[in-house]
Amino acid sequence: MLEKLFQLNKFGSNSKTEIMAGITTYLTMAYIIFVNPAMLADAGMDKGAVFVATCLAAALGCFIMGFWANLPVALAPGMGLNAFFTYGVVLGMGHSWQTALGAVFLSGVIFILISAFKLREWIINAIPVTLKKAIAAGIGSFLALIALKNAGIIVDHPATLVSLGDITSFSPAMAILGFFLIIALIQRNIPGAVMIAVLAVTVIGLIAGDVSYSGIVSAPPSLAPTFMQMDIAAALDVAMLSVIFAFLFVDLFDTSGTLIAVTQRAGLTKADGEVPRLGKALMADSTATIAGAALGTSTTTSYIESAAGVAAGGRTGMTAVTVGVLFLLSIFFAPLAGMIPVYATAGAIFYVSILMMFTLKEVEWDDLTEAAPVAVVLLLTPLTFSIAHGITLGFVTYAAAKVLGGKAHELSTSVWVLAVLLLAKIIFVG
């Protein structure tokens, strides 16, 4: 049965290797079951319900990717997109979390439509490579700001806007310890490094009396507070168009980049670099996003941590299915997730932010028409506290820099169209 489902022999693998690869991938990304509920709770959502929604959305995405696309790529609610959901859309723009879920749902529907009608290639090609690199780095800097703020490492200041907090106090010190522990474990190739660090800091908090013990295993919390609570009607408001676009835009390129990187690492790409069963993989991603919004969580996307499972020998969808099963089992560990303090996840978020800045090494810094847009996205995404604003300003800067730098011929028609639309949005909507 397994051979028929996953073609293990064709890909030179076996069930034992695939299961171990799935466990490896799960351990590298399991931190999301602690981080995502804590982050969305800041938006006013029920933490227990979001925990269950996170596990269910991740499991569903993994099952679709594994059984249908037969790729060793795991999915879960994405870092960066959950930050945009909470701190950008809800707390920054003042929308309700129900409206934000509606926007996530609609972005998933549009994702399916552009895949079905072959518009995906046009959109991907419409975005300059420079801006694709800038967006990943910009989200990374945004996550870094959130991590430092949540840990109390940076605090607000009436004269300078931000200042260094008291890093000798317990919360900042624990966040710093967690971050350095992650570095130490990652460098030693220890599986589950991020999760180990988060749990270790939590244990220290328990010993210090800063965290209250509430158990490890229990029946899953109720999903009712978030299930089918998305407000699609409110998300259809004109003011939400940029939000829907941002969710779609980031998910589309994050997923495409992850699929390319992981399948290349696994030796599954074709001679021309094409990802096998790309259409099915993207449909798995978009379907999981729609289901996740209905369950009560932010955008579900493919995880670059899947590369860890590939490095352990994962070559088929059985790896992803194994990850999905482990996420389902995680539902019974809600008390443990509820005990995780903010400072324990801050180090993990900061670590993820560093991973997302790797694209900066590929920027042509000697060409100002390339460097300027990257700098705008990198700096203004965190300073405006908005991924959407960072993308918008970076896109407009890219078009302006090329025109003023005498390189207008490098701008495609699609770039012109998007730049004009985004500029109009800045002028008339804000």
What pLDDT, on the 0 to 100 scale, is given for residue 212? 84
Question: What is the reported pLDDT for 205?
Answer: 93
Q: What is the pTM of this model?
A: 0.76
**Are the C-beta atoms of residues 172 and 155 closer than 8 Å to each other?**
no
According to the model, what pLDDT value does residue 416 have? Answer: 84
Backbone torsions φ then ψ of 222, nearest 5 degrees:
-70, 140
pLDDT of residue 104: 95
Q: What's the DSSP call for residue 34?
A: H
Q: Identify the pLDDT of residue 374.
A: 92
**Which residues in the chain show pLDDT less than 70?**
118, 120-126, 257, 261, 270-274, 428-430
Do the beta carbons of residue 298 and residue 81 sit within 8 Å? yes
- Residue 130 has a pLDDT of 82
Could you give the CA distance from residue 233 to residue 216 in angstroms, rounded to a whole number?
Answer: 39
Contact 193, 182 (CB under 8 A): yes
Cα separation, 285 vs 300, in Å, equals 7
User: Beta strand 154-157 with 161-164: parallel, antiparallel or unpaired?
Assistant: antiparallel
- The Cα–Cα gap between 328 and 321 comes to 11
Give φ, ψ of 156 to 5 degrees.
Answer: -75, 155
